[in-house]
Amino acid sequence: MAERRATPPRSPRLETERRRRGCPVPGEAEAAAAAMALRQPPSSGATPTVPSGPASSISLKQINIFLMHEQAVQKRVQWVSTVKKNAIWAKTHERNARRVLNLMIELEGLWVKMGQYLSTRADVLPEPYINVLKQLQDSLPPRPFEEVRGTIEKELGKPMSDLFADFDLDPLATASIAQVHRATLADGREVVVKIQHDGVKEIILEDLKNAKSLIEWIAWAEPRYDFNPMIDEWCKEAPKELDFNHEAENTRTVSKNLSHKADSGSGSISSAVDVLIPEVIQSTEKVLVLEYMDGIRLNDNDSLEAYGVDKQKLVEEITRAYAHQIYIDGFFNGDPHPGNFLVSKEPPHKPILLDFGLTKRISKSMRQALAKMFLSCAEGDHVALLSAFAEMGLKLRVDMPQQAMDIATIFFRQSTTASEAKENIKALSDQRERNVKALQDKMKLNKKEVQRFNPVDAFPGDAIIFMRVLNLLRGLSASLNVRIVYLDIMRPFAESTLLGSLTHGLNSQWIYDSPANSDVESKLRDYLIELGSDKILGIQICAYKDGKVIIDTAAGMLGKYDPRPVQPDSLFPVFSVTKGITAGMVHWLVDKGKLKYEETVANIWPKFGTNRKELIKHASGKKFQEVLEEAIVRPLHIEGELYIGIPPGVESRLAALTVDTEELRKLSGIRAGPDVPPELLNNIAQMASGVPVLFNTLNVRRAIIPAANGHCSARALARYYAALARGGSVPPPHSASSKPPLGSHVHAPKFPTAPFKKKKGTEKKKGGSSTGNLQDASNTDKNGYSQLRTSDATEDEAGAGSASRIFSSDKILDAFMGVGEYQSMIHPNGKFGLGFRRYNNPSGKLRCFGHSGMGGSTGFCDAENDFAIAVMVNKMSLGSVTRGIIRFVCEELGLPVPDEYSATGEKGPDMLLNLAPPQQLR
């Protein structure tokens, strides 16, 4: 950016046209004007030549007057009362708004488009600016009629007298690109004729070129204000407005889409939109003839009141129309300012949609990503939001999911009225300051550095106009003084986009495409399809028999609002299943001589009673995650697929939780057990629905909770129990047909995008790393996850992954189940051994153990029959799906069904959401 930029070539015709209308010509007083517009020069480094462009088109005198007046008022109002201060600012805003209006009218082209946009933002701009700038929507000075006549006759190839029986010389509206006249065709039809201004195409194209230069200059001076993706998208889309043939075709397309009533695909969503769109009669590049529709302008408040228009209902209908265009059709009008709408005078006063020159077409995948972004904000689901960003092509340079959620939610927040503009601006400013402070703390930057840091690495062009539309709709509701709850109005359309493909039943494609490992697995897949999407959202099942994989199946979706398929390496939250993993770590410490079963915790950790209960850390001298990797993950080659508290970088593989509300209804009328208060069951559905909301947030998922916050794949957990079933012997490698291969992921990945690079000379030498790095140079990240090491790995560490046994004790199975010499250590006749849930077989033998989790996920092994199985689900229920699957598999293999999963046996508490007496739920 330091090289000198050539001044864009000037068009003599364009300069003549600008001077004829009294407009400044680009290039005059350019350096001073641009510097004044930015208020300050770049902070350091070589300054590029200030580009000629929009800022340079504004005379230095006009800018100086504007800025000096604002500064004078700021000093003046410091010493007056609040009432007088408000009056002074009201007059100042009105005076400056008129200056801005006159300047934009002079400049024409892109500046009028900017003014139109600003005139809609009643939610963030003072009222005087809105009242004055709204003239730019359709009340600009009209062009001479001779110019209009010349364009019509040249474009349509006939004299006006042959084309029209009547033509109104006074335009209905004049806007930035064209003006509209009412007319009557020779056949008597009432029409409006839209005529493009002479010379406006050259002006806008020149303005776009200059705007691009100015944006690049700003991005160089202040990297956090890099608006290049926005101007690039605008440069791509805006010229399409200059060809009215495009607008005619766009109008026909939107009209067809919004009037479509078919039941397939979007279903009832289509009939939820009730708007009017004029018919296209004829079009050329610069002339468009449309059906005349008699309507009220949105800025004509007196007429709206006189006709009894329900403004709330009106804006809700417009919002529904845009939700349909964006999420259902993938083809939407990108310019919903008030000048592009009318309201029919006849009840029920439907919105009339006009001007489809600036439209945007987006792919099905982008529609789904935008819908997922919307719904993830509605649900507070950080995982779905980050995956939506990835699918959109939006890349971040920093791992701050909560701040990402806060920023994304701003676009879908409830609209505010114009009277709340000041409070709205303050709230947004406060939010921005909080985010900047969080970014500064996260990246360890000083104030100067954080001002130059842009947390966005790449921004998708397709999302630019989408966000512009949301802001314009927000401004529209503020202008009409109504509140719109976007999360309620737009939600059905977003849900239809994500979930519509699932309404036609399931088939073999619902199962992840991988070869079956056995006849049992083929039959199981048919059984899953029979269960259907009513019972299953997403699921993984993996089973080992005699050390070999016999089942490795994934099916369904990652989340209710995440239609990506579940894959073998997807990570499911498993709640109390985690206890069985943590128990294995404790047994490993005993086996290594770090602990004794008989020893009290206080002997190892005297402060246990008053401080956090980090037993494993105090016993081993290592962090929890390091012990997990050393004891279980590396020996079993399950890197990247078994965590207790996830690290940053695995979010794209996470399954999101939801609740099976139908199954929860079974609890209505159930008699509460002696230890369960009756009022608890009365509110069970509401309570259960809150669990996914909490555990779908990344701050919870990243917490290290040894008893309840495991995230794993079924194949990783099944391999773990297959090893335990053999007393710790590591099974042969997992099935080669399972893709991606088990253990192929980096266990503790670094954040994928590059960290902020400080300027030369600012790096700190401590430890050989810069404080600007996302992670320090130590072998563990901020969450305690050990980083993969190669050259500095010790011999013991290098050999850990190839160990043939996890445990050396030949009595480890007895310890797991609390039998033999360990029997005195457990509760007599209890359901638990030393950390594992014990399951009785019909024969009464205690050779099965494992642990289930709240909502249905489970893992266990049958040591007597050398069998292990894991089932992961993300649709939380009372466990009926999981029990049915395990019974199906065991019966097919001729194995005894543990009582936890049998039709008549006693159910453990974890699988049942811990809310109802087990004996009442078969």
Of 251, 156, 237, nearest in space to 204 by CA: 237
CB atoms within 10 A of CB 683: 10
- What is the mean pLDDT for each group of 10 consecutive residues in the chain (922 residues)? 34 41 37 33 40 43 59 74 78 81 71 68 68 70 92 95 95 87 95 93 76 68 63 71 93 90 47 88 96 93 94 94 93 84 94 91 90 86 83 80 79 73 72 78 78 71 79 84 88 84 55 94 94 89 97 93 90 95 94 85 53 62 90 96 91 89 65 57 62 81 90 98 96 92 88 49 38 31 36 37 79 92 87 89 76 93 95 91 95 91 68 46 44
- What distance in Å separates the CA atoms of residue 397 and residue 774, rounded to the nearest whole number? 9
CA dihedral 554, 559, 562, 564 (to 10 degrees): 0
**What's the CA gap between 281 and 188, in Å, rounded?**
13
Q: How many residues does the chain have?
A: 922
CA distances from 876 to 515, 658, 688, 760, 856 (A): 28, 6, 9, 53, 6
Phi, psi torsion values for 309, nearest 5 degrees: -75, 130
For residue 415, count other CB atoms closer than 10 A to its CB: 22
- The distance from CA 536 to its chain's CA centroid, rounded to whole angstroms, is 24
Residues 858 and 579: their CA atoms lie apart, in Å, by 11
* Residue 825 near residue 834 (C-beta atoms within 8 A): yes
Residue 627 is predicted with a pLDDT of 92
Could you give the residue numbers annotated as active site? Answer: 335
Copy the structure tokens of residue 740: 């991606």
Determine the distance from the C-alpha atom of residue 185 to the mean position of all C-alpha atoms in its chain, rounded to a whole number.
50
User: What angle, 0 to 180 degrees and rounded to 10, lies between the N-to-C axes of helices 12-20 and 200-221?
Assistant: 100
35 sits in which H/E element? helix 30-38
Q: Which helix (H) or strand (E) holds 130?
A: helix 127-133
Domains, in order of start, for the chain: 267-503 (no CATH), 519-598+640-744+804-877 (3.40.710.10)
Coil, strand, or helix at residue 581? helix
Instruction: Assign 3-class secondary structure to 255-296.
Output: HHHHHCCCCCCCHHHHHHCCCECCCEEEECCCEEEEECCCEE
pLDDT at 775: 30
For 652, the 3-state DSSP assignment is helix
Least Cα distance to 77 among 69, 92, 88 occurs for 88
Give the Cα separation of 67 and 724 in Å (integer): 75
262: region left, alpha or beta (phi > 0 left; psi from -120 to 50 alpha) = beta
Residues 903 and 866: beta-carbon distance below 8 Å:
no
Tell me how far apart the alpha carbons of residues 242 and 248 are, in angstroms, rounded to a whole number: 12
Q: pLDDT by residue (tens digit) across 888-912?
A: 999 999 999 988 888 776 665 565 5
- With CA atoms as reference, report the closest residue to 378 among 426, 425, 411, 416: 411
Could you tell me which of 665, 477, 45, 720 has the C-alpha nearest to residue 710?
720
Cα–Cα distances (Å) from 118 to 132, 324, 479, 787, in that order, read: 11, 25, 12, 49
Q: DSSP character for 135? A: G
Nearest in space to 291 (alpha carbons), one of 189, 442, 205: 189
Cβ distance 898 to 888 under 8 Å?
no
Given this model, what pLDDT does residue 614 score? 63
Would you list the DSSP string of 515-575?
--SSHHHHHHHHHHHHH-TTT-SEEEEEEEETTEEEEEEEEEEEETTEEEEP-TT-BEE-T
658 contacts 874 by C-beta, under 8 angstroms: yes
Q: Measure the CA–CA gap between 53 and 41, rounded to whole angstroms.
A: 16
Q: In 3D, which of 586, 584, 583, 554 has the Cα closest to residue 570?
A: 554
Residue in the block written with tokens 């789904």 = 368
Tell me the three state secondary structure of residue 778.
Answer: coil
Scanning 77-123, the segments in alpha helix (DSSP H) are: 82-107, 109-119
